[in-house]
Chains A and B, each alone.
Chain A
Amino acid sequence: MLGLNKKDTSLLIVVALLTLLAPFILNPFPEGSAMAQFNAGYPDLMQRFVIFGIFAIGFNILFGLTGYLSFGHAAFLGVGSYSAVWMFKLLSYNVIPAIALSVVVAGLFSLLIGFISLRRSGIYFSILTLAFAQMSFALAYSVLSNPKFNLTNGETGLQVYADDPQILQGANAPDLPHLFGLPMRATYTMDVGAWSFDFNAGYYLCAIIMMAVFYLSIRIFRSPFGMMLRAVKSNQQRMNYTGLNSKPYTLAAFVISGMYAGLAGGLMAAMDPLAGAERMQWTASGEVVLMTILGGTGTLIGPVLGAGFIKYFENIFSKINDNVLHSWFAFLPDGLEDAVVFVIHPFIGKGWHLTLGILFMLVVIYLPGGLVEGGQRLLKRFKRKKKDTDDAPSGKTEPAE
C-alpha cells in the first residue's frame, strides 16, 4: 500500500493503530486506583509524545542516515514555535498558517546553518551546530527581546495578547488555537466503568501529522536519496573520490530534518500558544540525541519510542512525591515503610533525571541498538521457543540498515 513493501506497510499500520488508540493504551489503570499515577493518557502528555516523536523522526533522518550528529536541532524547534506564535499574533488563531510558516521558517533557517556547518564533518560539525543553537538561544533569551525590538519576549516567552492585531480572526472564532473552529483544547472524555479515556482534538491533529511524516520518513529511508545518505555515513571520502559531490545530499538531509523540527515546534505552539526560549537551549538539543539513541539510531520507529520513553519519565516520575510513596507502602510496618520510602526517594520526584540516567546507561551498555534491539531480542526469544529452527529476523521493528 502507498508504495511501501509489506514489512513497511505493517510497520506503518502498527504505528497508526498505536497513535490512534493511544488514549486507551496509555490509560491502563482505573481512575482513582493507586496505579493511576502511572497513567499517561492525558492530552498534554499524549501531544508531547507525538510532537517529540516527530522531532526525533526528523533528527534521525540526519543522524541515523548520514551520521552527522547535530547538537543544535532545538534551535529549529524554537524557531518553528516562535513563527507559529507570531502567526497567531498577526493573523488568527487558526493553526494551519501557523504550522505552515513554522515549517518554512525552520527550513530557511536550517538551510543557512546547514550551509555553514556542513563545511566540516565529525566533531567539528557537532560543535558548530551547538554554537549556532546556543547563539540562537542567547538571541531569543535576551538580545531579541529588548523593549525596543521585541521579537521573542525573552525569558517570559512569546504569547498572544488581547491587543494583538489578529487581522483574520473572526468574531466568533474561539479565542485559542483552533482548526477551522475546532479548538485544540477540546476534549471528549469517555467514562467506561472505573476507567476514563480522553480524546483530545489537538492530539489527533498531531497524531495524523505524525503518521504523515512517519510515512514520509519511510519513503526517504527506502529511496535512492536515502541510500545516498547512507553512503555518506559509511564512507564519505570514498564517495567524494568517485566524483560525487555529497554536500547537496547532506544539506538536503539537514534541511529536511530542520523542517521536521520546525513542524514539531509549530505543533507545540499550536497545542499551547507560548514559545519559551528554553526550548532552544543545548539541553533540549541533547534531549533529542538521547531520544534517538535510546530508541535506536537509524531505525524507523526507534526515535518515536525513545521520545515517548523520555517524556514519560519527565512527566510521570517527576510527579511522584513522598506522600504518594507513603500511600503506596502504607501496608508495611511504620519503620519499614519509612526505610523503603527513604531508599526510593532519590529516584523519584526531582530525582527523575537520575533514574533516566541510569536507564540510559543500561540501554547503551546492554542494548547498543536501543529499545528497538531490546524488542527484537525479546521477539527472537519468543520465536525460538516456538520454532527452534526459525532464525529469520521478525518483521515489525527491524532496523532500517
Chain B
Amino acid sequence: MTKKNVTRRGVLKSGAVAGTGLALPTIFTASSAAAFTNEPTGSSVTLGFNVPQTGPYADEGNDELLAQQLAVEHLNGEGDGGCLNTFSSKALQGNGILGKKVGFVTGDTQTKSDAARASAKSMIEKDGAIMINGGSSSGVAVAVQGLCQEAGVIFMAGLTHANDTTGKDKKANGFRHFFNAYMSGAALAPVLAAEMGKERRAYHLTADYNWGWTQEESIVASTEALGWETVNTVKTPLASTDFSSYIAPVLNSGADVLVLNHYGGNMVNSLTNAIQFGLLDKVANGKDFKIVVPLYSELMAAGAGENIKGVLGSMNWNWQLQDEGTKAFVKSFGEKYGKPPSNSAQTCYAQVLLYADACERAGTFNPCGVAEALEDFEFDGLGNGPTWYRGADHQCFKDVLVVRGNENPTNAYDTLEIVEITPRSQVEYDPEHPMFAGGELGKCNPGA
C-alpha cells in the first residue's frame, strides 16, 4: 500500500518546492512606512469596542456598548454633548478627534482571554482600530492589555477590579479608570468599623481565580487592620451555581460576618443561598449577623432582587451621584436609552472621552504621545469628582463609593443607596505596595 520508489526527479521536484516555501518568508523583512500601528490616514479614525456580548457578563457588556456608542456620538458633535460640557479639559471640540470623524467596530470577548484576544486582534489587523476599550473581567483585561502592548495600540480598560491589572500585569500601553480591590478594602473598612464595630469575626467565600484572591487579600488586610479576626477563607469553584454546601459551615464557625468575594452570577447565587439559610436573622457572638459584598454592580443588584437589602459593598460610580459630570452623563444616557447607566458603562464612557482628549492634547494618535498626555493627568467633570491618572502605574485615583442595598427602593433602578463617598486620599497607595509589586510598565510601544 505504501509506495517507496524515490526517484532523482522526485527528490529534485520536492526539493524545489520546499526551497521556495522556505525562501518565501524573506519578503516580510521590508519595513513599513507608517510611524505607528494603524496610523489613521483618511478622514476618519476607528476605535475598537471589545465587550462581552455572550457569556456570564453579557449584560454588563451590552451596557458598556451603549455607553461607548454614546461617547462616539458626543465626540462627533451629535446629541447633547454629555460630559463634553462638564469635562475640565476643553480640548475636545465635538468635531471628532483631531478633526477626524470617529467610527467604531465591535467585538465579543465572551469573557474568555483567548476569544477576547482574537477579537481584539481582528479589530487591529482587519479594521485598523487605533484603541481598544471595554471588557468586564480582569483576566480578559490583562490578556488584551498584553496584546495591545505587543501590537502597539492603546488599551483603555473597561470594568476590571483585580489589583494585577495595574499591579504585576501593568503595561505601558494600558490604562485603567476603574477602581481596584485594594481601594474597595480601604473604602469599606472604616464604614464596616462604624456599622459593625471593631470586634468582628469574618468568614470569606472567595471565587477561586485571580480576581477573587486579590480581592480576598485586600479585604482581609484592611479588615484585620481594623481589629477584625478572619475565621476562615474558603475558595469556591468559579462554575458553582449552588453554594449551600459552602454556607452551611459558616453557621457553626463562630463567625459573625460573611464576606462574599464573588461577582456576577456567582454573587447572585451565593447571596441568595445565604439569605435562604437565614444568616441575616441569626445572632452570633451576641451580634447581628452581617453580609458584605465588596464589589457591587447595579446589574448584580437587580439580579439578587430583595436579597441585597441592607448588604454593604463598594462601587466605582453610581448614577445617583450629584456632581455635574454624573448628571450630564446620566441625562444623555437616560434620554437615549430610557434607563440609568451602570458603573461599567460609565467607566467605558469616561475612558473613550479620556482617550480622545489625550489625542487632542498630544496632537497625535501615536500611542506614545497619547500615553504621555494621559500620564499624571488631573481632570474633573466625568463623574467621581477630581481624578488623577497616575503615571507610575496608569491607575486612576478618585473617590470610591460605599453602597448598601436599598431597604425601600422606589423604582427598578433605585436598588442601591450611597452610604458614603470615600475621599480619594483615603484609597491611595504607593505604586510599590506589596499587593501591586512585581510588574513593570516597560516602554510604550507604537508598533511599526
Task: Report which A residues bind B (CB closer than 8 A).
Answer: 1-5, 16, 20, 39, 42-45, 48, 138, 141-142, 145, 147, 153-157, 159, 161-163, 176, 179, 182, 185-189, 198-201, 204-205, 208, 211, 219, 222-224, 227, 272-274, 276-279, 314-315, 318-319, 321, 349-350, 353
B118 on the interface (CB 8 Å rule)? yes
Q: A43–B168 Cα gap in the complex (Å)?
A: 30
* 21 A-B pairs (CB sep. < 8 Å): A3-B6, A42-B126, A44-B121, A142-B238, A155-B139, A155-B238, A156-B138, A156-B164, A157-B114, A159-B143, A163-B438, A188-B30, A219-B2, A272-B147, A274-B143, A279-B114, A315-B119, A318-B53, A319-B106, A319-B107, A350-B58
Tell me whether B146 and A159 are in contact (CB under 8 A): yes
Residues in A whose Cβ lies below 8 Å from that of B107 = 318-319
B105 to chain A, nearest CB (A): 7
B414 on the interface (CB 8 Å rule)? no
Residues in A whose Cβ lies below 8 Å from that of B137 = 155
Tell me whether B237 and A142 are in contact (CB under 8 A): yes
Chain A, residue nearest B139 (CB): A155
Chain B, residue nearest A281 (CB): B112
Chain A, residue nearest B72 (CB): A323
A75 to chain B, nearest CB (A): 15
Tell me whether B210 and A156 are in contact (CB under 8 A): yes
Residues in B whose Cβ lies below 8 Å from that of A147 = 213
Residues in A whose Cβ lies below 8 Å from that of B24 = 20, 204
Tell me whether A142 and B125 are in contact (CB under 8 A): no
Tell me whether B209 and A154 are in contact (CB under 8 A): yes
Residues in A whose Cβ lies below 8 Å from that of B213 = 147
Tell me whether B143 and A200 are in contact (CB under 8 A): no
Residues in B whose Cβ lies below 8 Å from that of A274 = 113-114, 117, 143, 146-147
B13 on the interface (CB 8 Å rule)? yes
Are A223 and B440 also in contact (CB < 8 A) when A45-B122, A279-B114 are? Answer: no
Are A3 and B2 also in contact (CB < 8 A) when A45-B122, A278-B115 are? Answer: yes
Tell me whether B53 and A349 are in contact (CB under 8 A): yes
A37 to chain B, nearest CB (A): 9
Tell me whether B150 and A155 are in contact (CB under 8 A): no
B35 on the interface (CB 8 Å rule)? no
B29 on the interface (CB 8 Å rule)? yes
Q: A189–B128 Cα gap in the complex (Å)?
A: 13
B211 on the interface (CB 8 Å rule)? yes
Tell me whether B138 and A163 are in contact (CB under 8 A): no
Chain B, residue nearest A146 (CB): B213
Tell me whether B3 and A278 are in contact (CB under 8 A): no
B21 on the interface (CB 8 Å rule)? yes
Chain A, residue nearest B9 (CB): A1
B114 to chain A, nearest CB (A): 4
Tell me whether B113 and A157 are in contact (CB under 8 A): yes
1/0 per residue B15-49: CB within 8 Å of A?
A: 00100011011011110100000000000000000
Tell me whether A199 and B14 are in contact (CB under 8 A): no
Residues in A whose Cβ lies below 8 Å from that of B138 = 155-156
1/0 per residue B411-448: CB within 8 Å of A?
A: 00000000000000000000000000011101000000
Task: Report which B residues bind A (CB closer than 8 A).
Answer: 1-6, 10, 13-14, 17, 21-22, 24-25, 27-30, 32, 53-54, 58, 105-108, 112-115, 117-119, 121-122, 125-126, 137-139, 142-143, 146-147, 150-151, 164, 168-169, 208-211, 213, 235, 237-238, 438-440, 442
Chain B, residue nearest A208 (CB): B21
Q: A45–B122 Cα gap in the complex (Å)?
A: 7
Tell me whether B28 and A315 are in contact (CB under 8 A): no
Tell me whether A319 and B112 are in contact (CB under 8 A): no
Chain A, residue nearest B111 (CB): A278
Q: A166–B265 Cα gap in the complex (Å)?
A: 40
A44 in complex: contacting residue of B108, B125, B142, B208, CB < 8 Å = B125
B113 in complex: contacting residue of A42, A155, A162, A200, CB < 8 Å = A155
A204 to chain B, nearest CB (A): 6
- Among B125, B138, B439, find the residue whose CB has the most chain A CB atoms closer than 10 A: B125
B100 to chain A, nearest CB (A): 15
Tell me whether A276 and B112 are in contact (CB under 8 A): yes
Tell me whether A319 and B105 are in contact (CB under 8 A): yes
Tell me whether A186 and B28 are in contact (CB under 8 A): yes
Are A156 and B169 also in contact (CB < 8 A) when A3-B4, A278-B114 are? Answer: yes
Chain A, residue nearest B162 (CB): A156
Are A186 and B210 also in contact (CB < 8 A) when A48-B118, A163-B440, A318-B107 are? Answer: no
Q: A50–B166 Cα gap in the complex (Å)?
A: 35
Tell me whether B25 and A201 are in contact (CB under 8 A): yes
Q: A375–B103 Cα gap in the complex (Å)?
A: 40
Tell me whether B28 and A223 are in contact (CB under 8 A): no
Tell me whether B113 and A204 are in contact (CB under 8 A): no
Residues in A whose Cβ lies below 8 Å from that of B27 = 188, 199
Residues in A whose Cβ lies below 8 Å from that of B28 = 182, 186-188, 199-201
Q: A199–B117 Cα gap in the complex (Å)?
A: 20
Q: A161–B118 Cα gap in the complex (Å)?
A: 20
Tell me whether B2 and A278 are in contact (CB under 8 A): no
Are A353 and B54 also in contact (CB < 8 A) when A1-B14, A142-B235 are? Answer: yes
Q: A198–B27 Cα gap in the complex (Å)?
A: 12
Q: A162–B124 Cα gap in the complex (Å)?
A: 24
Residues in B whose Cβ lies below 8 Å from that of A204 = 21, 24-25
Q: A45–B106 Cα gap in the complex (Å)?
A: 16
Tell me whether B237 and A138 are in contact (CB under 8 A): yes
Tell me whether B108 and A278 are in contact (CB under 8 A): no
Residues in B whose Cβ lies below 8 Å from that of A272 = 117, 121, 147
Q: A145–B142 Cα gap in the complex (Å)?
A: 15
Chain B, residue nearest A39 (CB): B126
